[in-house]
Amino acid sequence: MFERKYDNSGNSGSSRGGYNSGPREMTDVTCSECGKQTQVPFKPDGSRPVYCSECYQKHRPARAPRRY
The total number of structural domains in the chain stands at: 1
Q: Is there a domain that residue 4 lies in? A: no
- Where in the sequence is the domain holding 36, given as residue range(s)? 27-59
Q: Give per-residue pLDDT as tens, 2-54.
A: 555 544 555 544 445 556 667 889 999 999 999 999 999 999 999 999 999 99
Position 1 in a domain: no
pLDDT over 60 at 1, yes or no: no
- Is 35 inside a domain boundary? yes
Question: Taking the model in full, what pTM does it have?
Answer: 0.57
CA–CA dist 8, 56 (Å, integer): 37
CB 29 within 8 A of CB 39: yes
